[in-house]
């Protein structure tokens, strides 16, 4: 495993880390603590030392599993969680310091920890990024010893750029992958200048970039890849990175021609993300240990060649960019 600095937190984190949206099992299944414990412990055994969760993952069960892991292991494990998505309706007006404080304190109870290494605003409405009182709350929580650092999880490049204007923002979590390349322009440059760590989520475009899906692949009714393709439940960009399924499949077939010797594209897609040194870590999810093992293969791959990087860029420019660039 290789490690990179997570911006101004100073944490040296595993460049391949773990997201826990599906750590309790596959989409739509009840949360399994047995599955979660297996994946989480295998991750730490492999050298992963940064785990991202959220209070809404499994209705708090993911946080409980992560806390149990941290308390049971001797190795240092950095924990990042998120707050805000419990708000119903999820609107700018609902974001109030008192509510966010309650969420942070509940996360501490869920994980049975005294301090959160990193708390992130969980994709709030754009207007929240223009409210200093929201960001000031986390300075008070830091003074109280409840958090060590503040980060934001964003949907749009513009939200990330606005977050960078707050000095207490240490990290930005964002979607970045072969199908979502816009962040590598201005946002990456500004984050590096301000020493803000970049945490990359959805690196496999909800599984599309594994190369294992086809027109015959089916998803359960409770799987967001089935019910959220048009953004019915949350931001469309979280599902297949906002690319319509058929277009994504066609683009993946072209990617397979660029990497003909790779039966599994997932490690290649993760290695592509890590070609950008502004990225601190990538947090692919896993609903079983075999997926974790697949993701970890990326750490063993050589750097992609300039020709491969250009070919990926060409596929994006031709097939994907017109569909996603101006939305996120």
Question: Do residues 265 and 210 lie in contact, with contact meaning Cβ atoms separated by under 8 Å?
Answer: yes
Cα pseudo-dihedral 189, 191, 192, 194, rounded to 10: 120
Count of domains forming the chain: 1
| pLDDT per residue as tens digits for the range 247-284 | 999 999 999 999 998 889 999 999 999 999 999 999 99
**Listed residue (94, 87, 82) closest to 199, CA to CA:** 82
pLDDT of residue 284: 95
Residue 271 lies in a domain: yes
pLDDT of residue 23: 87
Residue 211 lies in a domain: yes
Task: Classify burial at 2, counting beta carbons within 10 Å of its beta carbon; exposed 0-12, middle 13-18, buried 19 or more.
Answer: exposed
pTM over 0.85: yes
Residue 312 lies in a domain: yes
Residue 99 lies in a domain: yes
What is d(CA 207, CA 211) in angstroms, rounded to the nearest whole number? Answer: 8
Identify the segments of the chain with pLDDT beneath 50. Answer: none
Following DSSP, what letter does each residue of 215-281 receive, concatenated? TT----TTSHHHH-TTSSSS-GGGSGGG--HHHHHHHHHHHHHHSTT-S--HHHHHHHHHTSTTEEE
Range of the domain at 132: 3-323
| pLDDT per residue as tens digits for the range 182-202 | 999 999 999 999 999 999 999
Question: Do residues 122 and 85 lie in contact, with contact meaning Cβ atoms separated by under 8 Å?
Answer: yes
What is d(CA 274, CA 99) in angstroms, rounded to the nearest whole number? Answer: 36
Question: Do residues 114 and 108 lie in contact, with contact meaning Cβ atoms separated by under 8 Å?
Answer: yes
What letter would DSSP give residue 114? S
pLDDT of residue 28: 66
Residue 107 lies in a domain: yes
Residue 197 lies in a domain: yes
Residue 328 lies in a domain: no
CATH number at residue 226: 3.20.20.100
Tokens of 27: 């989409």
Residue 195 lies in a domain: yes
């Amino acid at each position: 495993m290789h490690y990179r600095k997570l911006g101004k937190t100073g944490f040296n984190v595993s460049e391949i880390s773990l997201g826990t949206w599906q750590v309790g099992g596959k989409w739509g299944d009840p949360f399994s603590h047995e599955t979660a414990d297996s994946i989480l412990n295998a991750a730490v055994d492999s050298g992963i030392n940064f785990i991202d969760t959220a209070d809404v993952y499994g209705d708090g069960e993911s946080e409980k599993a992560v806390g149990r892991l941290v308390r049971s292991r001797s190795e240092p494990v950095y924990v990042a969680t998120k707050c805000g998505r419990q708000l119903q309706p999820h609107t700018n007006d609902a974001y109030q310091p008192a509510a966010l404080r309650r969420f942070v304190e509940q996360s501490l109870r869920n994980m049975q920890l005294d301090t959160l290494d990193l708390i992130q605003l969980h994709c709030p409405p754009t207007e929240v990024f223009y409210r200093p009182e929201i960001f000031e709350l986390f300075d008070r929580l830091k003074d109280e010893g409840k958090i060590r650092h503040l980060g934001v999880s964003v949907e749009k490049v513009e939200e990330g750029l606005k977050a960078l204007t707050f000095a207490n923002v240490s990290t930005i979590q964002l979607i970045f992958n072969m199908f979502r390349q816009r962040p590598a322009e201005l946002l990456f440059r500004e984050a590096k200048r301000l020493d803000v760590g970049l945490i990359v989520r959805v690196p496999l475009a909800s599984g599309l970039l594994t190369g294992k899906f086809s027109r015959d692949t089916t998803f359960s009714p409770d799987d967001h890849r089935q019910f959220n393709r048009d953004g019915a439940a949350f931001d469309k960009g979280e599902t297949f990175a906002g690319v319509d399924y058929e277009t994504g499949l066609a683009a993946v077939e072209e990617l397979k021609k660029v990497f003909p010797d790779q039966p599994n594209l997932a490690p290649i897609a993760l290695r592509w993300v890590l070609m950008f040194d502004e990225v601190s870590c990538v947090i692919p999810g896993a609903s079983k240990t075999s997926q974790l093992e697949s993701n970890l293969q990326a750490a063993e791959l050589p750097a992609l060649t300039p020709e491969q990087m250009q070919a990926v860029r060409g596929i994006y420019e031709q097939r994907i960019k017109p569909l996603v660039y101006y939305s996120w």
